[in-house]
């Protein structure tokens, strides 16, 4: 099993190119099931989850070609299997996103209930409720969601999601594009990745209004066609690198970034004392002092993202002052706290709130990653810890960060992968 060895090496300086967003790429790949044409995706990050999605689509009969750098061609014209098996779906929650497009186009789907990382419960009840409102008959048997659309077609409906759900919004949005009639989706997620999917669907011939708002209206069409689309930059990867510089000091410019999708994160970094400048597709951060502690409360977009909580916690543990971090999205998202405390952090947890008192130095240790963003926080801590830090079980990290050791190494970090 691979590990990362990290030794603090002072300030970071230079440029990093931001990859495409995993959380946009996966639903976009699933959208390839909606058409018999070819969907060409650019700026796709070569991650473990992307490769799992490729295998899943190929297992359903789709032709998936890639240059193994950043481009995919997905042709759904050869799909001959509406079954998504447990062995692939169990490793990645986003696999449930094949349910909506498969059901909408073929009138039936059988998808294993999803797995993924251990940060808490992420039920799919809103996905199923919405599809039932659109006329689907759904049963759950032996761990599989079995869905059938009577007469082979979903019907337009008004769907009000009980909670804001990114995956639920994406699944129902894709399903609605081929439903008969008009579908109104209310209480939609408005994350940039949802917007990216909607804009791609419009390129494929979907009729969607209200993109980027909490209510989207979809006028169903008989068929969609292929298109070319570039995946939106990964705001979480970008935020992770910005936190690294805020902790180590230095000056780094992120290229191929999307600062307009990151306002809550950039505001908090400025509050911590970083100098932030931005352009249309770049962000420069400069930090010449110890960061100031900042309070964080996660919430749905456009508020502070839960996927940046662990990284800001890593920054806060070496910041000047006391901070409070409140997690409102996932109940198990403080599993990095014991590992950070083993490195010398001063963090106490009470329910969904962590209280942090900044320390001047951390000490290197062997630590174990428990989920994707927890992994990133431990890497960041290693960048400023005295001695050697070993981050174990980095397969979590590889699900969401493309070549993180090369990108950080390129701006001066002393970090290397140890092959297991």
Binding-site residue set for UDP-N-acetyl-alpha-D-glucosamine: 93, 122-126, 307, 329
Give the whole-angstrom CA distance, residue 220 versus residue 156.
7
Q: Compute the distance between CA of residue 233 and CA of residue 9 in angstroms, rounded to an integer.
A: 28
CB atoms near residue 361 (< 10 Å): 11
Are the beta carbons of 252 and 12 closer than 8 angstroms? yes
d(CA 394, CA 261): 27
Tokens of 339: 């590992």
User: How far is the C-alpha of 173 from the C-alpha of 201, rounded, in Å?
Assistant: 9
Report how far residue 307's alpha carbon sits from residue 359's, in angstroms, rounded to the nearest whole number.
24
First to last CA, the chain: 4
- Residue positions in the annotated binding site? 22-23, 93, 122-126, 307, 329
Q: Residues annotated in the binding site for phosphoenolpyruvate, as ranges?
A: 22-23
Look at the block and give the residue holding tokens 């001047």: 360
Write out the two tokens for 179: 């439903």
243 catalytic per annotation: no
φ, ψ for residue 389 (rounded to 5)? -115, 130
Cross-strand partners of 350: 353
Backbone phi, then psi, for 92, in 5-degree steps?
Answer: -155, 120
- Catalytic: which of 30, 117, 227, 243? 117
Q: Is 371 exposed, middle or buried (0-12, 13-18, 19+ CB in 10 A)?
A: buried
CA distances from 161 to 127, 167, 186, 195, 306 (A): 9, 11, 6, 17, 20
Active-site residue set = 117
């Amino acid at each position: 099993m691979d590990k990362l060895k990290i030794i603090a090496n002072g300030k970071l300086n230079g440029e990093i190119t931001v990859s495409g967003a995993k959380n946009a790429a996966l639903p976009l790949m699933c959208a390839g099931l909606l058409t018999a044409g070819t969907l060409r995706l650019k700026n796709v990050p070569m991650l473990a989850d992307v490769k799992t999605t490729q295998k899943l689509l190929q297992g359903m009969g789709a032709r998936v070609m890639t240059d193994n750098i950043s481009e995919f061609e997905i042709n759904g014209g050869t799909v001959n299997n509406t079954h998504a098996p447990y062995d692939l779906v169990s490793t990645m929650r986003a696999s449930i996103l094949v349910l909506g497009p498969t059901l909408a186009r073929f009138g039936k789907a059988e998808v294993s209930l999803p797995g993924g990382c251990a940060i808490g419960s992420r039920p799919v009840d809103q996905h199923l409720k919405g599809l039932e409102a659109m006329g689907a008959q759904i049963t759950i048997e032996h761990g599989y969601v079995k869905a059938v659309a009577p007469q082979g077609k979903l019907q337009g409906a008004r769907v009000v999601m009980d909670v804001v759900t990114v995956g639920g919004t994406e699944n129902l949005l894709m399903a609605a594009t081929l439903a008969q009639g008009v579908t109104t989706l209310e209480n939609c997620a408005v994350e940039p990745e949802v917007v990216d999917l909607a804009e791609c669907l419009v390129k494929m011939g979907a009729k969607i209004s209200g993109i980027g708002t909490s209510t989207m209206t979809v006028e169903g069409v008989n068929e969609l066609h292929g298109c070319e689309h570039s995946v939106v930059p990964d705001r979480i990867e970008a935020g992770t690198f910005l936190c690294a510089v805020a902790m180590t000091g230095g000056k780094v410019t992120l290229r191929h970034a999307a600062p307009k999708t990151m306002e809550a994160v950039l505001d908090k970094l400025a509050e911590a004392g970083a100098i932030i400048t931005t352009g249309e597709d770049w962000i420069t951060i400069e930090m010449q002092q110890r960061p100031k502690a900042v309070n964080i409360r996660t919430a749905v977009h456009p508020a502070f993202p839960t996927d940046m909580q662990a990284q800001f916690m890593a920054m806060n543990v070496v910041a000047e002052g006391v901070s409070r971090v409140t997690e409102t999205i996932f109940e198990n998202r403080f599993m990095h706290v014991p590992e950070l405390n083993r490195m010398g952090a001063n963090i106490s947890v009470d329910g969904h709130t962590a209280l942090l008192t900044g320390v001047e130095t951390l000490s290197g240790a062997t630590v174990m990653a428990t989920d994707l963003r927890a992994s990133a926080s431990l890497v960041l801590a290693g960048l400023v810890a005295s001695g050697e830090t070993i981050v174990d079980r980095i397969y979590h990290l590889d699900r969401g960060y493309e070549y993180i050791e090369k990108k950080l190494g390129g701006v001066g970090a002393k970090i290397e992968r140890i092959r297991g």
